[in-house]
Amino acid sequence: MTDPVTSAESIAWTPTQGEETSYTVESFAGYPDAPGSAKNIQKTHEDGKFVLRYTILTGSVDATYTITGSTSQEPIGTHPMFGPDGDYTIEADEWKKWKLWEADPKDPDLDGWKPDSDDASDGMKKYYAYRNRGVDDYLLGTVTMRVTEEGQSQPNLDGIGRIETPPGAPGLPDNRNWLLVGIDAERVGTSSWKVTREYRASGAGGWDPEIYSKA
């Protein structure tokens, strides 16, 4: 026997790492080199042969998905009903008038405009009615998802703060999409990583691609 001979000795499944294959390599010319991803390395000299034993992760466990729904308090003016596709759209120019009126109702630049006047839009009148009733905020439903995978290579951090489509993620209505907002990583052994990625679902219409996509 001149060249090293390799055999797969056994395949085992562990709940934390997934599938592990144990290898045995025999040589008469000295101990063979173990692969960089090998672990549990053992070297013995048996009957004139140099024997190397090691294990390699050959299959990872399935990803674990954890989804959490909650609400956050947002200004009533950001409600979708006042947005471009809402039933009570308020244009940017009228928001400017509102800001002026809120600061000083007698501002000469308003030229007599008021949020409940005839020349105010239906959206502004509705917004003003809410504010008069003391409704300054509303509860916006939010969804976060954590995806944990084991047996991964070192994670790439470039995607944080960017729009992504996670494999296996549930679909979202109203053109919503996912934003990668965090990564937690823990090295297991010498080359394997346990990686958890956290995603946040957008509101209706999706995250703004000009802000949250790569240039």
pLDDT digits (tens, 9 = 90+) for 148-180: 988 777 788 888 999 998 888 888 888 889 999
Q: How many CB atoms lie within 10 A of CB 52?
A: 21
Domain boundary among 136, 167, 186: 136
Q: Are residues 145 and 200 in the same domain?
A: yes
141 is written with which tokens?
A: 């439903």
Per-residue pLDDT tens listing for the chain (215 residues): 456 666 656 655 554 455 678 888 888 888 888 777 777 888 998 888 888 888 876 655 578 899 999 998 999 999 989 988 899 999 999 999 999 999 999 999 999 999 999 999 999 999 999 999 999 999 988 899 999 988 777 788 888 999 998 888 888 888 889 999 999 998 887 777 889 999 999 987 889 999 998 54
Q: Are residues 54 and 86 in the same domain?
A: no
Domain boundary among 113, 136, 159: 136
Q: Are residues 192 and 152 in the same domain?
A: yes
Q: Are residues 124 and 153 in the same domain?
A: no
Looking at the whole model, is its pTM more than 0.75?
Answer: no
79 is written with which tokens?
A: 């409600």
pLDDT of residue 2: 56
Domain boundary among 98, 115, 136: 136
Q: Are residues 42 and 82 in the same domain?
A: no
Beta strands at 178-188 and 49-59: parallel, antiparallel or unpaired: unpaired
pLDDT of residue 184: 93
Q: What is the domain count for the chain?
A: 3
pLDDT of residue 104: 96
Q: Are residues 40 and 102 in the same domain?
A: no
Q: Are residues 81 and 125 in the same domain?
A: yes
Name the residue range of residue 207's domain.
Answer: 64-71+139-212
Q: Are residues 115 and 157 in the same domain?
A: no
* Strand order across the 137-152 sheet: 64-75, 137-152, 192-201, 178-188, 163-164
